[in-house]
Structure 1
Amino acid sequence: MTTATTIGRVHSWDLSTGVDGPGTRFVLFLSGCPLRCLYCANPDTWRMRDGRPATVDEVMARIERYRAFLDTSGGGVTLTGGEPLLQHAFTGAILRRCKELGLHTALDTSGFLGARADAALLADTDLVLLDIKAFDAARYRRLTGAPLAPTLAFASRLQRLGVPVWIRYVLVPGWTDDLTAVDGLGSFLAGLDNVERVDVLPMHKLGAPKYNALGIPFPLRDTPVPDADLTGRVRERFRTHGLRTA
C-alpha cells in the first residue's frame, strides 16, 4: 500500500483560530484513543472503528481547498483526536504531505503513545500541543486510566529534539487544582527550554449530550466548572516558574 492510499479513520474536521496552534487551523480529528479521561468532551472519538475510512489523498484534497486561506492567516494544519498517534503511520503521512505544501503542522497528543512518533514524524511536526492532564502519577491514572511516565518521557524527548511545545493543562476542580501539584509541573516544565506556553483550559461540560446519546454516564457530571478566580490562580502559579500562560 502506498502512502497516498494509506487508510486512516477520521472522525471529523473543523476550522479554528487561536486554540489549536498559531493562526487559523484546519483541524483534523482522528478516531481512536487509548485513554478514558473523566472529563473527555469527545467520547464519540474513543473507538477507531467508529471513524470514517479515508485515504491520505482524500484528506489532502480537502486541506488544499483551504491552503491559500491558511497561508494568509499564518495558520496551518493540526492533527488531533482521539489520539492521532494511535494511527501513527496515517498521521505521519499527512504531516509529511502538509510540509511538502509548506504548511505549518501541529500535533495534539497526550504523549502516552509518544514512542510511536518516530524521528521522521517529529521532523515534519512544527509544534506539539502536549496534554499533561495531571502531575501526580496516582491521580493521573485515576483521571485517565493510564500511567503518567510515558507522557513525561515524551516531553523530555521533545526537548532534546528541540521541537516547540505548547502545554495543555485542563483545570478540573478537585482533580487538577492542587497548587502543590501545579508547582511540581511548573518546575518540570521550566526545565524544558522548548516549552513556549502553558494553556490552562477550564473544564467544561459541552460534551455531556454526547454521553447521553451514547448511553454512557458522564463521570464528572456533578463536578463544578472552575471559576475565573481559580483559573487565574493556577495560571499565576505557572507564571511564577517563568512560564507564559494563556
Structure 2
Amino acid sequence: MKKGFIHSHESFGTVDGPGIRYVVFTQGCPLRCKYCHNCDTWKKEDAKFLETPEQTFLEICRYKNFIKTGGVTVTGGDPLTQPEYVKELLKLCKEEGIHTAIDTSGYLFNDKVKEALEYADLVLLDIKSIDPVQYKELTGVELEPTLKFANYLKEIGKPMWVRHVVVPGITDNDELLEKLADYLKDFDNLEKVEVLPYHSLGEYKWQKIGLEYPLKGIEQLSPERFENAKNIFKSRGLSVK
C-alpha cells in the first residue's frame, strides 16, 4: 500500500473546513509562496512520518466522536502531490460516513488527482492571485493550472470553498479583488469565499529552516481594508467567511 509522507496531525482543527475536523498535514508542495506559513512542509524528504492510509485512518478513528459534526481535512504542503495516498485515506473515511475535504492550490491536475477528488466532499481551493504575473511572483508557478482545476470542479459539481489571502501592497488591490470576484461569481459549485487577512505568524519557520522571509516588514492587513475586501466579494453575491 502506498505510504504517505506526513508532516503532522491536528486532532481539533476549526479553520480547515466546516465543523471540528481532524487535519492531516502532508509533506511536499510544488509552490513556494512568499507568505507561506507552512514552509517546513515544502520538501517531501523532510517528512516526519511515513504512514499507510490505514495507519492514518486508525488514528483518525480515535477522535471520531469529536469530529462527527465536522470531518477530516487533508492539507499540507499540497496533499495532491500524493494523490494515491489521499484517495485511499478519503475512501476509508467515506466508508465510515466521515465528511472529507482536500485543501490544495489546484496546481497538480491529472487522472490520479481526479480519482482522489471523487472521495472528497469538499475542496478548499487556494487562489493566491487572479493576475498571472503576480501569481507567479508570489508562488513561483503559473496560474493557469489552478484555473483549469477550478473549472473542472465546476464541471463535475464538486462543492468548493475558495481561499484568498489579502496582502497589503500586493493582493490588497481593489482592481484585482474585483477581477477575482467577477471570475468566481459564475461558479455555481462555490459555497463560500474565505477572505484571509495577511499575517506573518509563520515567519519564524522560515528562520528555523535557514531562509529569509520574503515579505519581511509588511504590516498586517488593517481592519478597514479587510472589510473592504470582503465587501467586494459580497457585492458579487458571493458568500464570504
Cα RMSD after superposing both structures: 1.1
Matching of residue 59 in structure 1 with residue 78 in structure 2:
no
The answer for the alignment partner of 1:43 in structure 2 is 39
- The sequence identity of aligned pairs, in percent, is 43
Task: State the shift of 1:81 in Å.
Answer: 0.1
The answer for the alignment partner of 2:235 in structure 1 is 240
Structure 2 unmatched runs, 5+ = none
CA distance in 2, matches of 1:226, 1:179: 14
Paired amino acid for 2:199 = H
SS in 2 for 1:218: coil
The answer for the alignment partner of 2:24 in structure 1 is 28
Corresponding residue to 2:198 among 184, 198, 203: 203
Task: State the shift of 1:17 in Å.
Answer: 4.5
Count of matched residue positions in the alignment of Structure 1 and Structure 2: 240
CA distance in 2, matches of 1:108, 1:116: 18
Task: State the shift of 1:204 in Å.
Answer: 1.2
CA distance in 2, matches of 1:136, 1:81: 24
Cα separation, partners in 2 of 1:117 and 1:167, compared to 1, 3 Å? farther
Paired amino acid for 2:36 = C
CA distance in 2, matches of 1:178, 1:216: 28
SS in 2 for 1:79: strand
CA contact (8 A) 2:94 2:100 kept: yes
Paired amino acid for 1:59 = T
Higher share of residues assigned helix: 1
Task: State the shift of 1:170 in Å.
Answer: 0.6
CA distance in 1, matches of 2:154, 2:98: 22
CA distance in 1, matches of 2:208, 2:177: 34
Corresponding residue to 1:190 among 185, 188, 192: 185
Task: State the shift of 1:45 in Å.
Answer: 0.3
CA distance in 1, matches of 2:77, 2:111: 15
CA contact (8 A) 1:115 1:154 kept: no
CA distance in 2, matches of 1:10, 1:205: 24
Matching of residue 12 in structure 1 with residue 8 in structure 2:
yes
Structure 1 unmatched runs, 5+ = none
Paired amino acid for 1:37 = C
Paired amino acid for 1:207 = G
TM-score (norm 1): 0.95
Q: Deviations over 1:10-55 (max 9, x none)?
A: 0001134542111100000000000000000011100001112111
The answer for the alignment partner of 2:134 in structure 1 is 139
SS in 2 for 1:33: coil
Task: State the shift of 1:117 in Å.
Answer: 5.0
Cα separation, partners in 2 of 1:117 and 1:201, compared to 1, 3 Å? farther
